[in-house]
Amino acid sequence: MTDKQKGFFYAITGPVLWGFSGSIAQYLFTQESIPTQWIVGIRLLFAGLMLVIWCYFIDFKELFAILKKPRYIFQLLAFGLLGMLPAQYTYFMAIKYGNAPTATVLQFLGPLFIIIYISLRKLQMPRRIDLISIVLAILGTFLLVTHGHINQLMLSPAAVLWGVGAGISQASYTLLPRELLRRFDARIVTGWSMLLGGIVFAPFADLTHVPELNWTAIICIIFIITGGTMFSYLFYLQSLNYLTPATTGMLSAFEPLTATVLAVTILNTKVSFAELMGALLILGITFLQALPPNLFNLRRNSK
């Protein structure tokens, strides 16, 4: 297997595992009545702990170097509490009030909010490619939420709000740890942020009261923690050793694709043609943002 083939394998496997995780979460919420807060708390605590232990054996010195400067500790707490925790919580709440496919797609609104943030911060108009992305996001969200019917919502207001919240959280998840990721291994940053977020969230998740779990639910929860969190993230990171971030970003579209296929075939979730078109438009933002910044200018000048 060539390096490029390895890169594609890792870049596709990671999002596929994330997609499985979303559909499994939908099953736990709808069929097993597991509290959302409890799932989020367990996922953050144990996935974070596993990543920290992993990094302990890989790079012991680097693992604790991030805790030696107050500046890094503050940034780590900010990422854990304002990035990692909201991203996990809003995503699962969007699944609870809607379904895995729509929650996963609305999560891909993250680049839209990054565009808006950067434009406001720099006090300048978005680039042409960013304006096209904004239009795609608006049209895609409209189709996803209304199925093309202007006078009615096909998703509950709670599902829409939590889904948009997942997109906003995804933006903060991307923007907050930039300095930390330049200085430390991404696995260390992610592991500590998950663990810290899980510890702070534990009282709200009421982890001391374990819900009644059958063996199916236990296996599902174990998968969400391991395959759907730890290994999916490690596969994604491994793909960056062989592929560009732009390529891995585009291949992340396998996450909503997997969630949709599983939800339709196994969970009997109905997906309309308008929803599929809306999803394609929103996912198109990721592909546009992966294009070279000057591509549109080059095309214009070549005419």
Mean pLDDT of all residues in 146-158 = 82
The least confident of 19-33, 154-168, 177-191, 230-244 is 230-244
Q: Is 298 a residue whose pLDDT tops 50?
A: no
Q: Which stretch of 75-79, 136-140, 290-294 has the lowest confidence by average pLDDT?
A: 290-294
Residue 296 resides in a domain:
no
pLDDT at residue 294, rounded to an integer: 62
In sign, the C-alpha dihedral spanning 241, 245, 247, 251 is positive
Residue 31 lies in a domain: yes
- pLDDT number for residue 27: 96
Per residue in 89-116, pLDDT (tens digit) is 999 999 999 999 999 999 999 988 998 9
Examine the pLDDT at 122 and tell me if it is beyond 90.
no
In a domain, 48, yes or no: yes
User: Is residue 301 in some structural domain?
Assistant: no
Residue 154's pLDDT band (cuts 50, 70, 90): confident
**Which pLDDT score, from 0 to 100, does residue 292 have?**
66
Say if residue 126's pLDDT is above 90.
Answer: no
Lowest mean pLDDT among 110-114, 146-150, 179-183, 258-262: 146-150
**Whole-angstrom Cα distance, residue 20 to residue 15?**
9
Evaluate whether residue 300 is within a structural domain. Answer: no
Percent of the chain with pLDDT over 70: 96
Instruction: Please give the pLDDT value at position 300.
Output: 42
**143-167 average pLDDT score:** 88
pLDDT for 301 equals: 42
Q: Which domain holds residue 233?
A: 3-290
In a domain, 196, yes or no: yes
Query: Is residue 57 a contact partner of residue 214, using CB atoms and an 8 Å limit?
Result: no
State yes or no: pLDDT of 30 exceeds 60. yes
How many residues are recorded in the chain? 303
**Lowest mean per-residue pLDDT among 76-80, 104-108, 190-194, 234-238:** 234-238
Does 302 fall in a domain? Answer: no
- Whether 164 is covered by a domain: the verdict is yes
Mean per-residue pLDDT of the chain: 89
Give the pLDDT confidence of 47-89 residue by residue, as tens digits: 999 999 999 998 888 999 999 999 999 999 999 999 999 999 9
Using CA atoms, how far apart are residues 92 and 99, in angstroms rounded to an integer?
Answer: 9
Q: What is the pLDDT of residue 295?
A: 55
Domain total in the chain: 1
Q: What is the pLDDT of residue 29?
A: 94
* Mean pLDDT, range 8-18, rounded to an integer: 93
